[in-house]
Structure 1
């Protein structure tokens, strides 16, 4: 039996591991990689993908031990993915990238950094004044400031009150796939405010934010960390 060209392509693509934190973030990323791959490799063709995720309740440890907890969970998850044959890994959740460097020291396969990939696209697009949205942990961490420190771009953080609002939307609704009309209107108002202040783009620094933010909601250019990470994974799988 002769092998088709698609079979040959399947055999040379690297195996992608997805270290899941939330079901929504992992599902959106998985579906995006599969659909976007068809544009690159042809119909029904995408890299081999494995997903591992502990219960989300394991990640919702917001006490003083949270960084140690996230580090342990990610190392264990990535090791399980490597054992299935994954040759590279992504984590479609921005917040745990706070322990990226510590985790990389303890794993054997490359982990693509979501913030670094977003920064690459922002540089290519030449965005200069960028609103960051995400959880309060992402707002308060160095994840995005570190990724953008070499760029001539300003990262704008919402007010404390707005941070609480966005964090609540994510944790109380989006991670469960819920999008209320009240949340959508509040988000539209927030985005409109910053567009009027002269910002040119917004980072969806939470992989569930595409559930509520799209081009119909804002005039700001969208840096969707979910899609950007998916594109980076596809590219890495071909190298």
Structure 2
């Protein structure tokens, strides 16, 4: 099996989910006591989030580039950035290493295109919903997206950074997201893109009217596929 590197801690709660999905996938394929050969560079989320909050993306890219280079030097043959929002600096990080970094939005877009989805709602933190870096990747795969809901983006930011990133799951936030998903289902869309690695903690991706493309699961399974590739 090939060794995969994870740039995690963005937050630790979602990184733990990546670890779980990747190992479950490898075990289902290989059986026995097999588990995934992984290297994890778990960053201090407080420091990275501070950079992003202050819109200092050079600061954030410096931290992720350092992590990527350390993983490459330690023997990782492919990398995942375990956060949708940090793909804003994907190009800078990829340029700093020789090994490939699997882009989360490209993987999601490819899957949606293959399954015939043309119209979707993009749900995530503020920079994912509002900025072009993520939306353009999906549009490049032929996906038309609803305009960003600014109020929803702001509310998700509070839920993610104040609750989910520190392992807190509240019934209020679960109810809020369920209500939002019900409202989105009334729009002219075929699916929802759950473009935040923590939202899976409060959104039941299997119990909604519309299909939900859970970016965490899609990204992690692609990492597992690399590990298992010939």
1:15 aligns with 2:3: yes
Structure 1 counterpart of 2:84: 94
Structure 2 unaligned regions, length at least 5: none
Aligned partner (choices 81, 102, 107) of residue 112 of structure 1:
102
Q: Kindly tell me: are residues 215 and 55 of structure 1, through their superposed partners in 2, closer, same or farther at Cα, counting changes over 3 Å? A: closer
Alignment partners' CA distance in 2, 1:157 and 1:33: 33
1:70 aligns with 2:60: yes
Stretches of 4+ aligned residues off by more than 6 angstroms = none
TM superposition shift of 1:122: 0.7
Cα deviation per residue 1:42-90 (whole Å; 9 max; x = unaligned)?
233233101112211111121142x101110111011111222111110
Any idea what SS the aligned residue of 1:196 has?
A: coil
Tell me if the contact between 2:13 and 2:167 (Cα under 8 Å) persists in the aligned partners.
yes
- Of the two, which has the highest radius of gyration? 1
1:168-207 alignment runs, 5 A limit: 168-207=158-197
Alignment partners' CA distance in 2, 1:41 and 1:69: 40
Structure 2 counterpart of 1:135: 125
Tell me if the contact between 2:164 and 2:201 (Cα under 8 Å) persists in the aligned partners.
yes
Equivalent pairs counted in the alignment come to 226
Structure 2 counterpart of 1:5: none
Any idea what SS the aligned residue of 2:39 has?
A: strand
Structure 2 counterpart of 1:231: 221
Alignment partners' CA distance in 2, 1:45 and 1:79: 27
Structure 1 counterpart of 2:136: 146
Tell me if the contact between 1:133 and 1:206 (Cα under 8 Å) persists in the aligned partners.
yes
Alignment partners' CA distance in 2, 1:116 and 1:151: 8
Tell me if the contact between 1:24 and 1:208 (Cα under 8 Å) persists in the aligned partners.
yes
Cα deviation per residue 1:177-226 (whole Å; 9 max; x = unaligned)?
21111111111111101101232211111111110111455211111111
TM superposition shift of 1:158: 4.1
| TM-score, L = length of structure 1 | 0.89
Q: Kindly tell me: are residues 113 and 216 of structure 1, through their superposed partners in 2, closer, same or farther at Cα, counting changes over 3 Å? A: closer
Tell me if the contact between 2:110 and 2:141 (Cα under 8 Å) persists in the aligned partners.
no
Structure 1 unaligned regions, length at least 5: 1-12
1:34 aligns with 2:23: yes
